[in-house]
Structure 1
């Protein structure tokens, strides 16, 4: 397997802007999917596609995986690798891996149970709010933490495996009536935004203004 090609490291401002864009997208999904009739209708339509496409046995297995076993396996694994990263002085990844689930879990729990109100617009669905998915956010944040403290150089199959786990976790939270697709989408955007902003804040590199090529060439030319 070929390792992932090394790409230029994004700057701290670029990470922060991308993270804020994810958080704005999270708010858009919240407003449209939860509080508007077209959004609720589209959410119900996608929910019906999942229920009518997958057989009940598979949907139940996905639910068990997403809402139990994924967290049971990922939580101790991510914690162990984070501690190992700390001992190896990889503090940036370790702090993100340990802090992200701790921050995301209470935020999503509060939003689901108290912070977000789902109005009844005659579209169907639950009478109570289910946005965002706490279980999906937990799995997503643990997977991000796992990426941050991965002990060896990442290869393509590593990323494909973790992306597959994330997809199954998202689908599993919808497959057995626990959540609507918008709930999982919101959780993904919230975790992505928090992770990118956190990674930018933890970046040890000092921010340096961009120097043009012409200015760099001038600096190299000796005076006289």
Structure 2
């Protein structure tokens, strides 16, 4: 409830809970396929091994970025959230967003700790569990924190920029051979699940600012931003299919194809989850009337 207006939104939890369920299901499926199947382990591990090739060229720069990533994520997320909180007085929404960011990061560490070691599927790999990626969770949760507290007209733009930052962060962990592609994908799905739960609470109780006039009302809410996300995601999917189909050819060998397929998986997940989130929040912000108590 907005302390100044006494307004709340008549938002039912159905779509948000459904989105949460799909995110959790995707997280479990990612774990089962890439950790518990031979094919999944082979694709994931091959991408990690082939990352040594680009690492030789840009490994130093990537390592420097990864060292700065925690502070970049925290400063960016906290500064924007605090600015919106103080300037726009969105106290409850900001509190929910911060709690969701914390819950996503805590859940990642708990998930990683509680899962058993990777089973032996005949693939040469380290047997300790690295899924989900903590760095990727931190970057994605910071982006989501900003997305949750900004007004609806800014959300499409914030989603695209946040997704791009999270994808850059996830790709960097792969290049530096800290994490496999599935670790990054699992991190995005973990954050998505908490974002959907927090989103319903903010849309329900966040106040009268959570209304939207449509995609043409402001440049930051242009259809261009979800369209770009969708195009990048689809393009990455096409690239991944071409690379993997080429690897299925008789006698085919790979030096970087699995690596680029892994990068494509990160891009697909990051941008297409962004499109889904943007559409969900935009739809709910526009369709529900205010109820004044």
Instruction: Report the TM-score when normalising by structure 1.
Output: 0.75
Q: 1:13 corresponds to which residue?
A: 14
Q: 1:100 corresponds to which residue?
A: 100
Larger radius of gyration: 1
SS of 2:203 mapped into structure 1: coil
Deviations 1:10-38 (A, max 9, x none): 85311221121011100000111112212
Residues 155 and 199 from structure 1, CA distance in 2 versus in 1: closer, same or farther, beyond 3 angstroms?
closer
Q: How does 1:120-159 map to 2 (within 5 A)?
A: 120-150=120-150, 153-154=153-154, 158-159=158-159
Deviations 1:175-201 (A, max 9, x none): 112111111110011111111122113
Q: CA deviation at 1:48?
A: 4.0
Asked if structure 1 preserves the Cα contact closer than 8 Å seen for 2:118 and 2:127, the reply is: yes
Q: 1:73 corresponds to which residue?
A: 72
Asked if structure 2 preserves the Cα contact closer than 8 Å seen for 1:82 and 1:93, the reply is: no
Residues 167 and 10 from structure 1, CA distance in 2 versus in 1: closer, same or farther, beyond 3 angstroms?
farther
Asked if structure 2 preserves the Cα contact closer than 8 Å seen for 1:62 and 1:169, the reply is: no
> Which runs of 5 or more structure 2 residues have no equivalent in the other structure?
1-9, 206-293
Q: CA deviation at 1:171?
A: 0.4
Asked if structure 2 preserves the Cα contact closer than 8 Å seen for 1:140 and 1:166, the reply is: yes
Residues 55 and 78 from structure 1, CA distance in 2 versus in 1: closer, same or farther, beyond 3 angstroms?
closer
SS of 1:203 mapped into structure 2: helix
Q: 1:35 corresponds to which residue?
A: 36
Q: CA RMSD in A?
A: 2.6
Asked if structure 2 preserves the Cα contact closer than 8 Å seen for 1:51 and 1:175, the reply is: yes
> Which runs of 5 or more structure 1 residues have no equivalent in the other structure?
1-8, 206-224
Q: 2:46 corresponds to which residue?
A: 45
Asked if structure 2 preserves the Cα contact closer than 8 Å seen for 1:132 and 1:187, the reply is: yes
Asked if structure 2 preserves the Cα contact closer than 8 Å seen for 1:26 and 1:189, the reply is: yes
Q: How many pairs does the alignment contain?
A: 195
Residues 56 and 92 from structure 1, CA distance in 2 versus in 1: closer, same or farther, beyond 3 angstroms?
farther
In structure 2, what is the Cα distance between the partners aligned to 1:107 and 1:39?
23
In structure 2, what is the Cα distance between the partners aligned to 1:143 and 1:79?
10
Q: CA deviation at 1:159?
A: 4.1
Asked if structure 2 preserves the Cα contact closer than 8 Å seen for 1:79 and 1:97, the reply is: no
Deviations 1:156-215 (A, max 9, x none): 66544322211110101111121111111100111111111221134326xxxxxxxxxx
